[in-house]
Amino acid sequence: MSPSQRQADPSPGQTSPPSRRSVLRGAAGVGAAGFVAAVGVGAAAGPALAAGNSRAAAQSDTARPATGQPDTAAGPLVVYLRDAASGELDVFAGTSHAVIRDHELAARLTSAVRPSAKRG
Amino acid sequence: MSSHREAPEISKDPVADSTDVYAFVSPDAPDTVTLIANYIPLQGPAGGPNFYSFGDDVLYEIHIDNNGDGRADLSFQFRFQTKIADPDTFLYNVGPILSLDSPNWNNRQFYQVVADKNGQSKQLGSGLACPPCNIGPLSTPHYGALAQQAVHELPGGIKVFAGQRADGFYVDLGAIFDLGDLRPFENLHAQYGLGAFTKPAAGVNATAQLNVHSIALQVPISQLLWGSPHGAESDRGSVIGVWTTASRQAAQVWDARAGASVSSGPFRQVSRLGNPLVNEVLIPLGRKDFWNTEAPGDDKQFASYVAHPELASLLPALYPGVFPNLAKLAAAGTARADLEAILLTGIPAGIVPGFQNYTGPVQADMLRLNTAIKPSKKPSELGVIGGDLAGFPNGRRVFDDVVSIELRAIAGATVPLVNPKYTPDAAAALVTDGLTDSSVPSGYLDAFPYLGVPYSGFNVS
């Protein structure tokens, strides 16, 4: 339990966007509709983080002040794609929230959960 | 009601659904204020084998505003953790539970308390034990004493309790939500031509044998007030605003492999409660869940629903000829400054002799408690309109008859506070759902946490 979870939202720039590979890995394992992907953060970290984000613009949640530690070191990561056309993805980890814009990733996520796609 | 299942979305999420908030100067410790927030409405006491518990994934808070801006200056935050001793049995307990560390008790809950004062957090306690639910004479044979062991002392002279209690709120839900039937007056109801009622009837307390889960604090007044001058009844700085919220993390996914839901992201407010019945009765259906996500300081956007309550127009239609003056008032579109004062700003000095709980011009739904007003030696469950300045809407005590008080206010009984020329209908001072605090079978406790011992599943018929 964190003493003050509501204050743990990161400041802009504190949270790194996830890799497309990690997001897709999660998406393939989630059969539910709604373009929600969930993976373990431990699996998402690593070399893939640096690769493939050149077109991703990241913006962290600034709704609340950042006085606590961003709780992203453990636990699941959830990606929510509300509207594939916008390419805007909400990324949730720990008590943090980042918004990234990546049309290519959005397209691949959408493709991953089409009925014809193989599901995990 | 008062806020049980009051909005469409939160009604599907009982562990995060606040039902009532209380704030009062403690009658047996008048240098302290007792704050209680209830959750998980309408619990059937026999609801085993998985008896009720707080949500491990919910952030519960009780907020204090002491400068009138409708924003929290001090928040008490509560997080819970469930521990199952033996996952290989289906039983909640495998023998009588005689103590909070009983090895017979399989499904226990603990919590931590954090005080957030102006953005600075301090942990007040952790690993604090909740009591079990009240099961029956074999499982919880000495429940009252057992639950009292779950009153914990925190630094700074604060007491805390979190666990099951009998619902102290009384209301005739079954009649009121049957198209506004008030049984003591149901023969006067228009009845849609059905002729269902020919004579008055006694009220029926719908919560009479149901439980809730309470989070209760008793805090020295000195820790709630700072800044503005305070200590005298006339000091605006003596008044605190109180409300509760529940928040969930933004993302929730059902992890089928783990067989559990997963939460992630920042906490977002899903439930809010200050004054009783505001979201329940005044806010329209399409905005109730949005209202739950907002801060009291932003309540100006909802003020029109208080100033022009739908119920004030309905009463004359439902009870033809009973509320002619109220009908004229509503038809004229007159803003109800009395209700705005009672519910959104507090009552300024000079309106009720010897009383004010005004927090300033910011319209915010909060319970407003003037901490300088001592507990009443002869309390009236009708609070201020009953001549008892220590009761609702000066905060709220566990036994206050908030249904009758607010019904009478909406019916026009409090309009003369702001418009002496208005003559309330005779019925406005009498309207009630026919219940009193004696309608609560558990009764109330004389000491913290004040709400009665919860009903056991064994004893409820």
The dihedral built from the CA positions of residue B2, B4, B5 and B11, taken in this order, carries a sign that is positive
Instruction: Determine the length of chain A.
Output: 120
* Structure tokens that stand for B352 in this block: 């009720």
By Cβ distance, the residue of B119, B121, B264 closest to A78 is: B264
Is B253 in the A-facing interface, judged by CB distances under 8 Å? yes
CA-to-CA distance for B216 and B237, rounded, in angstroms? Answer: 23
Q: Which residue of A has its CA nearest to B81?
A: A1
Q: Which residue of B has its CA nearest to A3?
A: B114
What average pLDDT score do residues B127-151 get? 98
By Cβ distance, the residue of B59, B81, B123 closest to A5 is: B59
- pLDDT grade, residue A50 (50/70/90)? very low
Query: Which chain B positions have a beta carbon within 8 Å of A38's beta carbon?
Result: 253, 255, 262, 264
Query: Which chain A positions have a beta carbon within 8 Å of B251's beta carbon?
Result: 36, 78, 80, 90, 92
CA-to-CA distance for B361 and B417, rounded, in angstroms? Answer: 18
Cross-chain Cβ contact B79/A9 below 8 Å? no
Answer yes or no: are the C-beta atoms of B33 and B26 closer than 8 Å: yes
pLDDT on residue A72 = 52
Answer yes or no: are the C-beta atoms of B340 and B307 closer than 8 Å: yes
Is B192 in the A-facing interface, judged by CB distances under 8 Å? no
What average pLDDT score do residues B225-254 get? 96
Q: Which of A106, A75, A76, A77 is nearest to A89 (CA)?
A: A106
The CA dihedral of B140, B143, B149, B150, to the nearest 10 degrees, is 80
Q: Could you tell me how far CA B295 lies from the centroid of its own chain?
A: 17
Interface size, chain A vs chain B, as Cβ–Cβ contacts under 8 Å: 79
Q: What percent of chain A has pLDDT over 70?
A: 34
Cross-chain Cβ contact B251/A78 below 8 Å? yes
Q: Determine how many CB atoms are found less than 10 A away from the CB of residue B422.
A: 17
The CA dihedral of B173, B59, A98, A94, to the nearest 10 degrees, is -140
| Strand spans (E) along B283-439 | 367-370
Which residues, other chains included, contact A31 with Cβ-Cβ below 8 Å and sequence gap of 6+? A113, A119, A120
Cross-chain Cβ contact B249/A63 below 8 Å? no
Is B251 in the A-facing interface, judged by CB distances under 8 Å? yes
What average pLDDT score do residues B324-333 get? 97
Segment (H or E) for B116 = strand B107-117
- Least reliable range by pLDDT among A45-49, B25-29, B320-324, B419-423: A45-49
Is B121 in the A-facing interface, judged by CB distances under 8 Å? yes
Within 13 Å of residue B141, how many CA atoms lie on the same side as its CB? 5
CA-to-CA distance for B77 and A67, rounded, in angstroms? Answer: 16
Classify B291 as helix, strand or coil.
helix
DSSP secondary structure string, B137-171?
Answer: TTTSTTHHHHHHTT-EEETTTEEEEEEEEE-----
* Structure tokens that stand for B172 in this block: 């005739």
pLDDT on residue A43 = 35
Q: Determine how many CB atoms are found less than 10 A away from the CB of residue B426.
A: 10
pLDDT on residue A76 = 87
Q: Could you tell me how far CA B374 lies from the centroid of its own chain?
A: 21
Cross-chain Cβ contact B251/A9 below 8 Å? no
Phi first, then psi, for residue A34 (nearest 5°) are 100, 5
Cross-chain Cβ contact B265/A30 below 8 Å? no
Instruction: Determine the length of chain B.
Output: 461
CA-to-CA distance for A3 and A5, rounded, in angstroms? Answer: 6
* Structure tokens that stand for A50 in this block: 């640096």
- The complex scores an ipTM of 0.81
By Cβ distance, the residue of A6, A32, A80 closest to B251 is: A80
pLDDT on residue A59 = 61
- How close is the nearest chain A Cα to the Cα of B292, in Å? 17
Which residues, other chains included, contact B90 with Cβ-Cβ below 8 Å and sequence gap of 6+? B49
pLDDT on residue A79 = 95
Cross-chain Cβ contact B254/A32 below 8 Å? yes
Q: By CB neighbour count within 10 A (0-12 exposed, 13-18 middle, 19+ buried), where does A97 fall?
A: buried
By Cβ distance, the residue of A4, A32, A96 closest to B265 is: A96
- How close is the nearest chain A Cα to the Cα of B22, in Å? 24
Which residues, other chains included, contact B304 with Cβ-Cβ below 8 Å and sequence gap of 6+? none
The dihedral built from the CA positions of residue B223, B448, B58 and B343, taken in this order, carries a sign that is negative
* Structure tokens that stand for B29 in this block: 């410790």
pLDDT on residue A32 = 30
Q: Which residue of A has its CA nearest to B80?
A: A1
Answer yes or no: are the C-beta atoms of B321 and B291 closer than 8 Å: no
Query: Which chain A positions have a beta carbon within 8 Å of B82's beta carbon?
Result: none
Answer yes or no: are the C-beta atoms of B272 and B245 closer than 8 Å: yes
Cross-chain Cβ contact B119/A67 below 8 Å? yes
pLDDT tens, B335-376?
Answer: 999 999 999 999 999 999 999 999 999 999 999 999 999 999
Segment (H or E) for B36 = strand B32-43
Q: What percent of chain A has pLDDT over 90?
A: 28
Rg (CA), chain B: 22
Cross-chain Cβ contact B266/A5 below 8 Å? yes
Interface test with A, best of B81, B253, B262 (most A CBs within 10 A): B253
- How close is the nearest chain A Cα to the Cα of B114, in Å? 6
The CA dihedral of B28, B378, B388, B297, to the nearest 10 degrees, is 20
What average pLDDT score do residues B312-330 get? 98
- pLDDT grade, residue B228 (50/70/90)? confident
- Least reliable range by pLDDT among A64-73, B55-64, B377-386: A64-73
